[in-house]
Amino acid sequence: MEAHRLPVPAVPHHASVGGNRVKRSLSLALAVASLVAISHPVAQAAESRPNVVIIITDDQRWDSVTARYMPQLSSILANNPSVTFTNSFVPNTLCCPSRTSTLTGDYSHTTGVYGNGGQYGGFPAFTPAPDGNGISPINDTTTIAVDMHQAGYRTALVGKYLNGYNARTSRYIPPGWDRWFSVPTGAYYHYWAASNFGGPIHNRYFGTTKADYITRVLTARASTFLQANQADPFFLYYAATAPHGPATADPRDVDRFNSAGYVQPPSFGASSAVDPHYIQDRPWYPSDVKTINQFHAAQLNATYGVDRSIGQLWNLLPDNTIVAFMSDNGFSWGEHRWSNKMIPYNEDLRIPMRLVGRNLASPLSAGTDPRIVLNIDLLPTLEGMAGVTTSPSRPSAPEGLEMLGSATRSEFVIEHWYQRRSGGRPRAARSRVRRNPSSRCPCVARRRGGRRRRGVRRIGHWHLPE
């Protein structure tokens, strides 16, 4: 069955790349996404506005959303009107740049957040002075939370915000958030949270008991928010820390899955002449197989706990709620000799993306959608469903497309950046750039078509399978 399309008129779409703003951000010419029409928000009566929930996991691969590893989510999707996007990607396969893109609907070269830290990375780069050093007009004042809050929604962030936000000491709550419970990257036990649940903003330590396990704590805070806002339109951004490394499972799920019987793809531990030297030069040892497979299993075990949380939260949702499920980026489990993210291969770029409605006033039509969709498309999609307009403080419209409209793209920009040690703006890879085999590779490229290995395009020193 075809994915539901909202019958809305199309208006010219703001160019995804190009113009003076982007030229200042890029150090080489970018191939631009070919875009067709973007739909504007649908006007809706206040009483029919849906509640909106985003559930975002950390470093979860698209192919781990199965009935075996996520039975609760799989059941929810099967028994409620839902849309599965089969070609969903992120342009920047790194935590903080990807998350700022999700929150704003814009590419990294527009948000000005290029990495997880440094002058142009992390929480400070997304936050204007005096609380940060962000210089882009697309920042924490132009997020989906700000738009929802201004439209009368009660808003909450529960979980990971951005790399570099110090939950141990910070009392800063970004604009637009009514409830705030922020924890660090990779937190499972022994962590701090910055919270205004139960009183003014404060910093609280969580230890090493079962009750302190991160997914249990996040589930409890999200449940508190949902129970307190059953009668009001709300927006919940639930950002799990799992299955990011060290991928520690809930005590109930330790060793639920193991590496026995894994069938690895042909690209596992392999490289070829079309790969950049960055990949070809990587060493590969027999011990790597065991280490990677163990982490593979650990991520699945940690994901199972998030799935349990999703089931618990779903049972608390009132009618007329739309839920978006996604990951911030993919992850390689040994393909191309790589066990991380940040490189422009399918395993790192591709993410799960699902929309599911709980008794929506305007129901979704269940089905799959093969169009290319990106994390930057989520903001215009959800705001369109909610009849919410973007903040007037934005200098331009979001670069994302409305996923349930008629907009399509045949290609999209892939970008990953590093910062000069001597200072200055971040730069992307050129053919002369060589990096240590143990470090990340910067790149700017484009991907054409939705299927892997459909063709190749060489930009810089990357030869991209698609």
Domain assignment present for 3? no
Of 391, 417, 411, 395, nearest in space to 41 by CA? 391
Please tell me the pTM assigned to this model.
Answer: 0.84
19: left (phi over 0), alpha (psi -120 to 50) or beta: left
Using a pLDDT cut of 70, give the percent of the chain over it. 79
Contact 57, 330 (CB under 8 A): no
Structural domain span for residue 360: 10-465
Question: Residue 447: its pLDDT value, please?
Answer: 57
Instruction: Please tell me the predicted confidence (pLDDT) of residue 39.
Output: 33
Residue 422 forms part of a structural domain = yes
In the predicted structure, residue 42 carries a pLDDT above the cut 50 = no
239 bridge partner residues: 56, 159
| Model pLDDT for residues 177-221, shown as the tens digit of each residue | 999 999 999 999 999 999 999 999 999 999 999 999 999 999 999
Q: Is there a domain that residue 451 lies in?
A: yes
Q: What CATH number did the domain enclosing 324 receive?
A: 3.40.720.10
Which contiguous run of DSSP H or E holds residue 347? helix 346-349
| Residues 348-374 pLDDT 10s | 999 999 999 999 999 898 899 999 999
**Four-residue CA torsion sign, 89, 93, 94, 96:** negative
Contact (Cβ atoms closer than 8 angstroms) between residue 274 and residue 463: yes
Q: pLDDT-based confidence at 438, cuts 50/70/90? A: very low
So what's the pLDDT on residue 419? Answer: 56
pLDDT band of 141, cuts 50, 70, 90: very high
pLDDT-derived band of residue 445, with 50, 70 and 90 as boundaries? low
What is the pLDDT averaged over residues 24-28? 34
The answer to whether 433 and 418 are in contact (CB under 8 A) is no
- 383 in a structural domain: yes
Has residue 2 been placed in a domain? no
Over range 378-404, report the average pLDDT: 94
- Alpha carbons within 13 angstroms on the beta-carbon side of residue 393 total 14
pLDDT band at 35; cut points 50, 70, 90: very low
Dist CA 214 CA 192 (whole Å): 10
> Per mean pLDDT, which range of 41-55, 143-157, 183-197 is the poorest?
41-55
Q: Which pLDDT value is given to residue 425? A: 56
Estimate to the nearest angstrom the gap between the alpha carbon of 98 and the chain centroid. Answer: 5
Task: Evaluate whether residue 209 is within a structural domain.
Answer: yes
pLDDT band at 430 (very low <50, low <70, confident <90, very high): very low
Whole-number mean pLDDT of the chain?
Answer: 83
Q: Per-residue pLDDT for 25 more than 70?
A: no
Tokens of 147: 């738009």
Q: 408 in a domain, yes or no?
A: yes
Number of domains in the chain: 1
**Between the ranges 8-12, 217-221, 415-419, where is the mean pLDDT highest?**
217-221
